[in-house]
Amino acid sequence: MELLERESCLSQLSRRLDAARDHGGGVVLVYGEAGVGKSALLRKFREIRRDVRVLWGGCDDLFTPQPLAPVYDLAQQVKGPVLAALESDQPRTQVFAAMLGELARTATVAVFEDMHWADEATLDLLKYLGRRIESTPSIVVVTYRDDEVGPRHPLRAVIGDLPRSSTHRVAVAPLSEDAVVQLARAAGRSADGLYRVTSGNPLFLTELLAAQTEGVPATVRDAVLSRAARLIPESRNVAELVAVVPGRTESWLLSQAAPTDIAIEGCLSIGMVLFDDGALGYRHELVRRVIEDGLLPSRRKSLHATVLAALASRSDVSTARLAHHADGAGDGAAVLRFAPVAARQAAAVGAHRAAVSQYQMALRHGAALTPGERCRLQEALAYECYLTSQHERAIEAQTAALATWRASGQRVNEGNALQFLSRFCWFAGRRADADRYAAEAIAVLDSLSAGRELALAYINRAGLDMEAHENASSIYFAQKAAALAEQLGANDILSDALNTVGTARLITGDPGGWADLNRSLVLAQSGNFEVLVARAHTALCAMAVSCRDYSKAGEHLRQGLAYTDLHQLDAWWLYLLAYSARLKFEVSDWTGASDDVDAVLRHPHTTAVTRLPALRVLAHLRVRRGDPGVAEVLGELRALAGPVPELQQLGSLAAVEAELAWLAGDREGVIRAAQVPYERVCEHPDPRMKGELAAWLWRAQALTETAADIAEPYASEIAGDWRAAAEMWAAVGCRYEHAITLGWHGAEAGQREALALLHELGAGPAEAALRQRLRAQGVRKLPRGARRSTRSNPFGLTRREAQVLELLSQGLRNSVIARRLFLSTKTVDHHVSTVLGKLNVSTRAEAAAIALARCEPAR
């Protein structure tokens, strides 16, 4: 079929390729609905641009995706370091680096097709290449079905993380009605009803035009089956074999069906494609599915068995592919042979969701397993579910394994299962269960000879205690784990234990914790324990922020973000990004903090553990800027913290709520927010939290006794030396706190300085409260004026609000505006509400009319 209405898309691709050669590479996202012609477009582009190397790889619609499938395709085409890295089972960072090196060597178009089916490792590769592609003369072309990639699809987050400067989009739209009429005439067919049935989809149109039936078939399925029904038996056998093989069927595999030239010709007559290497495939995955779905179950199983037998005789076939066909054949023994291996291979490259699917497949066929074998698979499944934030499924699988270990009297395995179950329950928000299982694990393992399992149980107990601010107990158990790890020579456990010891000591105000954390990092780095390196950087960053050593925090933040990005440790990357938001918030970089919060909250892999710190920053930002939606965020924070929140969540939430009440002049509200958490923290040494809550009670004149063991600058303020407190705030870069201290304690000159600073920060509520205070004191001639970012705007909109109004005036929905500005939809909702209020209108249409008439576009 002639390629119509694709000139603009081809031109865009050519421009991107030329720009890559001259100025540095990029990623080109080619998207559209299934069957719209993305692959046909790229094949045409390859014909036009014969001056450049084109490498072609794709993701297959297997029951469980093969990790790094496109890389294996590309590696076979280029050989060299990429193939060597894959075949030698090198760490995936080496595979990624080899792939980048290949793209840097010469100008290349690397096509990754059907990325909506990609596994996690392939998505991680795209993110890795996307952030470095500008150093090459190449482009990576990614095709995907945009109608199948929703807001929570993993690919959506990767696309959002790609650098905007080097990422380009090419939308492939359905054909117009005129094009459909033109193609129908060229095929000698009537165009009546074709556009209505196909909606301009080229695949559907091709199948319907090829169907030798009167009129227009009701569905594409009817058209496809109608064409297949005309095949001679030899061709049908080949077509059916190829139908159970996602992607391409190699020539050596086709030999199992003994195809003749006549059989191949028949397959080509129904739109199948014969590739240069002799492989045969369907022009589109949708057509393959129609043929496969039309097979009788017994015939489908037989074909899968045939393919499995052929694949199993070769050494160059992935275990994921073997497991797929074993499952299709209903061959339980083969599934148990291949699926666990495929799961471990997937996990090794970070494709943890693929590993979950493989373990689940194995367990479905596990009737012949021994109890011990089933337990091992259940525990492996539980751990992969935990890594992918499927916590309830992890608990279910681990509970089943625990029951079997108990029944068989295998005490070490029982104790180990208990400590893992404790960890999974904590991540699922089931604190009481986590505590109970932690105690049971230690009770079981303490009665046996000391080993790794007991050390891990101690660490788990120490971590739970630290989260509850039971720091004395946390240090005790972590030190026991460290001592046992030293005896065992287990540096991974030692690093983990020292991390907990150091963090707990620093929370209590003991500076010796820095040495523990630094040693933890060194051990993790020397042993190449990737997760522990990430954890050490995170702890060092978090505690430096808590101690307001922002220089140290920034250094570990930079190192940690770079490390977790390189090793694709998304969970830790998100946690570090949440602390980046906290750091920026505390030093009054509120725009940067807001951007980091949005990045965490809109990421599809974010969990309750990473959402909590990000939401705390968001709530605090809205309180200080006077943004709408504070109650909504506080409500989500309370829900995530659970009915009996740990002290960390309780204290942090209380600080936000106390400030909200104080800015509103609600003294009783301050006391209600801070009193109970303050009483609890007095029982658990934490100088910063205790100082912050004590300061709120002191400002509300509700601190009934002199607070001891609290951090500066709170201690100086409560002692009456507000000047020293103000200087300390200024010295560490906390401009908001500096202004608040001057404004509420200083004389008129200091208060005017504070007013100007609050105005500059955009701290509307505090500025308004201070103005009211100054007027009550009789101060007159207070400065007025809009923020620098709003002076040129006729409606007093901030830069971000002006951007939202500009897009709103284009008729875009909030969800679309959010994608354009890389914000969350909720954030855009609040911006729109604020814009309507500032424009004094009640509808979006009214706001758009005003904007089009009077408002300059945002720059």
Q: What is the pLDDT of residues 161-193, one digit of tens each?
A: 888 889 999 999 999 999 989 988 888 888 887
In this prediction, residue 854 has a pLDDT band, given cuts at 50, 70 and 90, of: low
Lowest average pLDDT, out of 113-122, 551-560, 606-615, 664-673, goes to: 606-615
Q: Would the pLDDT of 393 be above 90?
A: yes
Q: Would the pLDDT of 796 be above 80?
A: no
d(CA 745, CA 126): 54
Lowest average pLDDT, out of 8-22, 54-68, 361-375, goes to: 54-68
CATH of domain 792-854: 1.10.10.10
Share of the chain above pLDDT 70, in %: 95
**Of the spans 382-386, 831-835, 838-842, which averages the highest pLDDT?**
382-386
Q: Are 595 and 558 in contact (CB under 8 A)?
A: no
Q: Which two tokens stand for residue 391?
A: 């916590």
Residue 61 belongs to what H/E stretch? none
Mean pLDDT over 78-105 rounds to 89
Question: Where would I find the H helices in 313-410?
Answer: 319-329, 332-348, 352-364, 371-387, 391-407
Closest CA to 323 of 332, 240, 69: 332
Mean pLDDT over 328-353 rounds to 93
Please determine, looking at this structure, whether the domain spanning 7-173 carries the CATH number 3.40.50.300.
yes
Angle at which helix 530-546 crosses helix 550-566, to 10 degrees, equals: 160
Q: What is the phi/psi pair of residue 282, to 5°?
A: -85, 150
Secondary structure E strands in 108-234: 108-113, 139-145, 167-171
* pLDDT of res. 212: 58
Mean pLDDT over 267-279 rounds to 86
Mean pLDDT over 815-827 rounds to 72
d(CA 805, CA 809): 6
- Token look-up 């059989």 returns 263
pTM for this prediction = 0.72
Longest CA pairwise span in the chain (Å): 100
Q: Are 96 and 128 in contact (CB under 8 A)?
A: yes
* pLDDT of res. 129: 94
Q: Would the pLDDT of 677 be above 70?
A: yes
Sign of CA pseudo-dihedral 167, 172, 173, 178: positive
In this prediction, residue 211 has a pLDDT band, given cuts at 50, 70 and 90, of: low
CA–CA distance from 649 to each of 4, 133, 467, 571, 613 (Å)? 59, 41, 9, 19, 9
Mean pLDDT, the chain, as a whole number?
A: 88
* pLDDT of res. 857: 38
Q: Name the residue with higher pLDDT: 707 or 250.
A: 250
Share of the chain above pLDDT 90, in %: 57
Q: Name the residue with higher pLDDT: 141 or 271.
A: 141
Mean pLDDT over 205-217 rounds to 66
Strand partners, 111: 56, 141
In this prediction, residue 511 has a pLDDT band, given cuts at 50, 70 and 90, of: very high
CB atoms within 10 A of CB 95: 25
d(CA 570, CA 578): 12
* pLDDT of res. 785: 45
Q: Where are the domains of the chain?
A: 7-173, 178-226, 349-563, 792-854
**Of the spans 206-210, 327-331, 624-628, 814-818, which averages the highest pLDDT?**
327-331
Fold annotation for 349-563: 1.25.40
Please check whether the two domains, 349-563 and 792-854, share a CATH topology: no
- Token look-up 């061959």 returns 331
Mean pLDDT over 708-719 rounds to 91
Mean pLDDT over 227-236 rounds to 88
d(CA 61, CA 44): 24
Q: Are 751 and 780 in contact (CB under 8 A)?
A: no
Q: Would the pLDDT of 855 be above 50?
A: no
d(CA 1, CA 207): 11
Mean pLDDT over 208-235 rounds to 74
Mean pLDDT over 113-138 rounds to 92
Q: Would the pLDDT of 605 be above 90?
A: no
Mean pLDDT over 730-758 rounds to 92
Q: Would the pLDDT of 779 be above 90?
A: no
Q: Would the pLDDT of 63 be above 80?
A: no
- Token look-up 């939290």 returns 689
Strand partners, 373: none
**Of the spans 31-45, 537-551, 569-583, 596-610, which averages the highest pLDDT?**
537-551
Lowest average pLDDT, out of 144-153, 217-226, 434-443, goes to: 217-226
d(CA 607, CA 634): 17
pLDDT, one tens digit per residue, over 475-499 is 999 999 999 999 999 999 999 999 9
